[in-house]
Chains A and B, each alone.
Chain A
Amino acid sequence: MTAEERRRARQGWLLSAPALALLLAGASGPLLIVVVYAFLEPGEYSGVEWKFSLEAWFRVLFERDIFDGTVRLADAHLSIFWRSVKLSLLTTLLTFVFGLPTAWFIATRPARTRMLWLFLITVPFWTNLLIRTFAIMEVLRNEGILNGALMRLGLISSPIQILYTDVAVLIGMTYVYLPLMALPLYAAIERFDMRMAEAAYDLYASRWQVLRKVVLPIVRPGVVAGSILVFVPSLGAYVTPRVLGGGKNMMIGNFIELQFGAGRNWPLGAALSLILLAMVACALTIYVRAAARAGADG
């Protein structure tokens, strides 16, 4: 390394120092507190008692029957985890199904108008998530816009109960996270050379074959990035299941909130948060591997 290179490297570090310090203090500090709390005992009314305990970790997966004291797998916890994973996977799938045609449409517009379409995709972000969720509630509820329209059209005679079901949660989450899928897909498709598709057609490939064998492999990094961007926040979703799901069934986010609120068991809440973090880390690892493979193929 020459003196000049060393100087530049030092300059780079100095310039990024404020951002790094902020990240370290803002992300690692609170995380450290969460880690420490997960190994303590719950306080009598809230907070923690400074006594080492593995009880919280034990309680994540196992429960002592409150009535006969036997230890068994905490099936209530597992079903809450499973519901979160299931709904997040379905949300990812649905955003892909809706996001791919949207991204394709935008990427194939003339360059001049593309910015306008992209701009339209960002419009929902101008309003707070909670307000948008309440707006969806207005659409889905029994006397709401959707049921009203269907009844006036004579398609149904009594309102369909959509609100307060898993379907409502799925609709809400798909709507909320769709841009996070559409944008990376767009970025990938935009780079796609349309002449490749033409060449495939010339070689008698069917439309389905073109999509599967030519388009999808090339846009795969976009699919993977979009899936991660959707899956990760879905897993921790709190507002949408609470408002649209009618609060009858918890997801991980609501379950963690219960521990810090009425449940008064902060260590369990901290342990659950770390489990959620580990699940996200797993998803990200899969992403990095897949992206590396996609890179190698391309």
Chain B
Amino acid sequence: MRIPALAAATALAAAAAHAEGALNIYNWGNYTNPELIKKFEQTYDVKVTITEYDSNTTALTKVEAGGHGFDIVVPSHSFVPIFIEKGLLLETRPDQMENFKNVDPVWVDVPWDPGRRYTVPWQWGSTGMAVNVDAYDGDINTSAIFLDPPPELAGKINVVPEMQDVINLALYYVGGEACTEDKAKLKAARDALVAAKPKWLSMDYGTTDKLASGEWVASVNWNGSTFRARLANPKVRYGYPREGYPLWMDSVAVLADAKNVENAKLFQNFIMDPENAALISAFARYSNGIKGSDAFMPPEMKDAPEINPPAELAAAGRFGPSCPKEIQAIYTAIWTELQK
């Protein structure tokens, strides 16, 4: 019964109501549009359950332990190869699915899943600088905002405690690469961070609310979060550091031990539909990687500077890999030094 159900569903995507049952999605917190889920449930008569996690390592550890009951996970680009290498993902061949034609070619031959044999784009974004123009109206397209702050911002900067992103920003700032083995660059990055820390106010999450309320006037932050803050407070701006800034993409994958494989595949195909992809973005305010979804996006998203980087700064965005163990130990040592 499974195969005919899938065939029917892929043929008549909207009309097919044969795949009754359940789908258990394991995704990042506050990241999944309830409207999208409702639409999927109604289209396919599937009961969807969402469980949330807060970091890639949490997700990996729980999935690896087994017995989780999840069908779908949404790891970041740097963790997709780890999931694949450990045999945790099912090769569902999204590249052969009906809606695959909608995937922007830029996101097809990605290093973490060449040709998209396992994963489907969910959302992608960047880590940059959020600044309130009332506090500082100079150049914000630079990591100097937090690594060598202008006097107006000294003592007022928040830095999200996201080890990988923050150290990568510092490495780019001193001319290095993510996970570099170049000790001189690592040292320079550490020194830059340690020297800048006295000028920081805090290292905390919850950036959207505090930027919106004006309590924080500058922060290392994600583009979508900054976008949401700007919708509440027009003084908030997003800067793309020209020295280099981390990009990330979260992708939807089916777990190797999924119980509801067909429903999970339906979901992968479902979110490659531009109208559905637009729902994903309308909620969390990140770009989705599906061509034609712009047409279905809320008007304020179409030319939002937070999700459409200026051409001259787009190239500075880089996808950092997951570092090897030895380099990760150095990252942790730098981070410990920073927070001791």
Binding site for B on A (CB under 8 A): 42, 44-47, 63, 66-67, 75-77, 79-80, 141-143, 161, 163-164, 243, 246-250, 254-255, 258-265
Contacts and interface: CB of A to CB of B under 8 A. Distances in A.
A272 to B, nearest CB: 11
Q: Which 6 A-B pairs have the closest CB atoms?
A: A246-B202, A76-B340, A263-B332, A247-B203, A262-B163, A164-B202
A97 to B, nearest CB: 28
B64 A164 contact: no
Given A262-B332, A263-B335, A45 B82 contact: yes
Interface in B194-210: 197, 200-204
Contacts of B64: 46-47
Interface in B322-340: 322, 324-325, 328-337, 339-340
A132 to B, nearest CB: 17
B186 interface: yes
Nearest to A263: B332
B183 interface: yes
B202 A247 contact: yes
B40 to A, nearest CB: 31
22 contacts: A44-B324, A45-B60, A45-B86, A63-B333, A66-B183, A67-B187, A76-B336, A80-B340, A142-B215, A143-B213, A161-B201, A164-B202, A243-B204, A247-B161, A249-B339, A258-B332, A258-B335, A263-B163, A263-B328, A263-B332, A263-B335, A265-B329
A210 B202 CA distance: 47
A67 B61 contact: no
Contacts of B339: 80, 247-250, 254
B96 interface: no
Given A42-B325, A46-B61, A248-B202, A67 B186 contact: yes
Contacts of B58: 261
Contacts of B163: 258, 262-263
Nearest to B214: A143
A210 B113 CA distance: 77
B215 A143 contact: yes
A262 B164 contact: yes
Contacts of A46: 57, 60-61, 64
Nearest to A243: B204
Interface of B: 55, 57-58, 60-61, 64, 82, 86, 161, 163-164, 183, 186-187, 197, 200-204, 213, 215, 322, 324-325, 328-337, 339-340
Contacts of A263: 163, 328, 331-332, 335
Contacts of B197: 248
Contacts of A75: 340
A263 B33 CA distance: 31
Contacts of A255: 336
Most buried by A among B55, B82, B204, B336: B336
B330 A261 contact: no
B55 A248 contact: no
Contacts of B55: 261-262
B328 A264 contact: yes
Contact of A66 (B57, B60, B186, B213): B186
A264 B340 CA distance: 18
